[in-house]
Structure 1
Amino acid sequence: MGSVCRASPSCPRPASSPPSPSSTTCASCPSTSGAPGERRPAGADRRAPSGRRAAAGTESAAAARRPVRRGRGGRPLELDLWLPEAGRGPAPLVLFVHGGAWRRGRRDDMGPRTRHWDPGPLARIAAAGFAVACADYRLSGEANFPAPLDDLRAALRWLELRAPELGVDTARTVVWGESAGGHLASLLALDPAVAATGAVVWYAPSDLTVPRGPFDPRSAETPEALLLGAAPAAVPERARAASPVARVHRDAPPFLLVHGERDTMVPGTHSEALAARLREVGAQVELRTVPGADHGWYGASDDAVEEVFARSLRFAQEVVA
């Protein structure tokens, strides 16, 4: 797989480490395009030589920096991009969205059960012929919904604008997320303004309006309340707007929903409800459950986690074919 390192010369990854992504970096001056206050990821590295990671600042990894406007929270948002081997034509895109209860997380983290993989899960997806982007988004301590969704839309717009230069076919985009990131990926795929080809969603909330498992919509202390800025029951319209089950439409792209049968944090009824609603409107959906698995695939065997990933990758390949 062709790959390049992050743009910053202070990147902690040593040159001998496994192939890692390019990184885009943004600065804190006014935006050069888009609406005032819009946050955009910026900059991109060129492909590095096949099979190794180039050092930042070398000929094969020259990074560009573009200005963005900082929003509430002041944190520059970044986007990492893995590119497959050159010469295959424009690559379909996977936009990966990390989890973390909307309040924490690392953009390139596909969950605790994949952290020891070598190569990692995103590198595996790129090796299968995809461009893989993983983008920062504002967390609930920085801004409330719909800010994180706006940030992911901005990431997709930036990729669309740079697609010819990057060799990416954004008309074949699969959004893939886990937990809170799966919730945002679902909303992104269900946005009629986003041309998503498919969605892979692991153990994600789908309804922020009714009690399920430990979630109480009347509480102002839950991760969902922190995302919305108030108890969901106190802001029913905002909670509905943030609920994928309420955003389903008949032109929704194909969905793969995967959930642990023993999930104690986000009950499997979330995926069941979203699958049922998608079927109601005639959309394509595949619901898979993992026996013995809690949230984050805890309790599942290594083989079961590998199979979940393999099926998810096959699904992405099928919908972009």
Structure 2
Amino acid sequence: MSAPFPLHLLAPPDPDTLPLPFPARPADGVKLLRGAVYAVPDGSRPLTVDLWLPEGGSGSVPVVVFVHGGGWRTGLRDDLGPRFRHWRPGPFARLAQAGFAVACPDYRLSGEAPHPAQTEDLAALLAWLGTRAGHLGLDTGRTVLWGESAGGHLAALTALTRPVGAVSGCVTWYAPTDLPGLAEDRNEGAYDAHDPRSFEALLLGGAPADSADVARAASPVAHVGPEAPPFLILHGADDALVPARQSLRLAEALRSAGHRPDLCLLPGGNHLWVGLSDEEVEDCYGRTLGFLRRCADHPEP
């Protein structure tokens, strides 16, 4: 009779020890490691991250973690939105040229797992970056989270729930921040908090009105405290998908906790920066780069 099969051999490899992808060079002074595995959640696909790294230089570089949007339902990890797809070099290559490492991760979408799986994935990414920091030349003590739309929600939620010092700043672009408040903020008839098919309901595992405690726990505003990192909050004043009031709610919560968030509402701006001129979109990126540089120089809140 044959010996039983050693089931431990079926266990996935440790992402901390897997070989890193072979680097590409998509722009001058930039090295790209595309699709490194950073986590293998039980019962799920492996989660991967693209790493945009500056070439040359000495010492460790600050880290930007970009979290993509898509209603928690879809999206590409390296996509900043339609207003940036024609940029050459692209926005992440430009950050690497400016001396930042940029990590663009996948995370489990709402069709794969409900909240809090997404923030658990981002926490796993931060831990993986810390493990790999020496090899990759990263200063993870200077890590800024940045996300757009649903990714901005996840970036803010992660920044506000990680241990003090784990994140040195956070940038949100047109992000939902108070899920129970969406019913009040959206135009009448544009949002039904009892709808189990909404993006928010699919994230929470139930309609927000029927999952009030979960919706509150999944809202960045519920986690603002005196130790919150610095925030840059950008939102189109005419956003028809995520009302600008959502960013105001986050800014108000931060101010009430003693912080001075940098809030900018852009007149004429809709979701994904629709309605803004190319120059105004460039300015949003420039404001973000300036904030990242300040956080790199002064990592403490």
What does 1:216-235 correspond to in 2, within 5 Å?
216-235=192-211
Residues 37-64 of structure 1: CA deviation (Å, up to 9, x unaligned): xx98964246667837889xxxxx8x99
1:155 Cα deviation after fit: 0.8
Structure 2 residue corresponding to 1:276, chosen from 233, 241, 252: 252
Structure 1 residue corresponding to 2:138, chosen from 152, 162, 168: 168
Provide the rounded CA distance (Å) in 2 between the counterparts of 1:149 and 1:258.
Answer: 21
- 1 or 2, which has the higher helix percentage? 2
Structure 2 residue corresponding to 1:308, chosen from 262, 281, 284: 284
TM-score, scaled to structure 2: 0.87
Provide the rounded CA distance (Å) in 1 between the counterparts of 2:201 and 2:267.
Answer: 30
Partner residue, 2:159: 189
Relative to structure 1, is the Cα distance of residues 233 and 319 closer, same or farther in structure 2, using a 3 angstrom cutoff? Answer: same
Structure 2 residue corresponding to 1:205, chosen from 161, 172, 176: 176
Residues 276-320 of structure 1: CA deviation (Å, up to 9, x unaligned): 110000123010011111000001000000000001010010011
3-state SS, counterpart of residue 182 of structure 1: helix
3-state SS, counterpart of residue 235 of structure 2: strand
Structure 2 residue corresponding to 1:155, chosen from 106, 116, 125: 125
Structure 1 residue corresponding to 2:221, chosen from 241, 245, 251: 245
% identical aligned pairs:
50
Provide the rounded CA distance (Å) in 1 between the counterparts of 2:172 and 2:271.
Answer: 13
Once the two structures are overlaid, the 10-residue window that deviates more, 136-145 or 78-87, is 78-87
Structure 1 unaligned residues grouped into runs of 5+: 1-27, 34-38, 56-60
Once the two structures are overlaid, the 10-residue window that deviates more, 153-162 or 79-88, is 79-88
Relative to structure 1, is the Cα distance of residues 261 and 221 closer, same or farther in structure 2, using a 3 angstrom cutoff? Answer: same
Partner residue, 1:118: 88
Residues 200-248 of structure 1: CA deviation (Å, up to 9, x unaligned): 1000000111312133322211100000110012111111111011110
Structure 2 unaligned residues grouped into runs of 5+: 1-8
Relative to structure 1, is the Cα distance of residues 29 and 122 closer, same or farther in structure 2, using a 3 angstrom cutoff? Answer: farther
Relative to structure 1, is the Cα distance of residues 96 and 264 closer, same or farther in structure 2, using a 3 angstrom cutoff? Answer: same
TM-score, scaled to structure 1: 0.81
Q: CA RMSD in A?
A: 2.6
1:65 Cα deviation after fit: 7.5
1:259 aligns with 2:235: yes
Provide the rounded CA distance (Å) in 2 between the counterparts of 1:71 and 1:236.
Answer: 28
3-state SS, counterpart of residue 47 of structure 2: coil
1:129 Cα deviation after fit: 0.4
Partner residue, 1:15: none
- Between 1 and 2, higher relative CO (CA 8 Å, sep ≥ 6) is seen in 2
1:133 aligns with 2:103: yes
Residues 83-115 of structure 1: CA deviation (Å, up to 9, x unaligned): 112223100000000000000000000111111
List structure 1 segments (4+ residues) > 3 angstroms apart after TM superposition.
39-43, 45-50, 52-55, 63-72
Aligned residues: 282
1:75 Cα deviation after fit: 2.2
Partner residue, 1:94: 64
3-state SS, counterpart of residue 209 of structure 1: helix
Partner residue, 1:6: none
- Residues 41 and 79 in structure 1, CA contact (< 8 A), matched pair in contact too: no
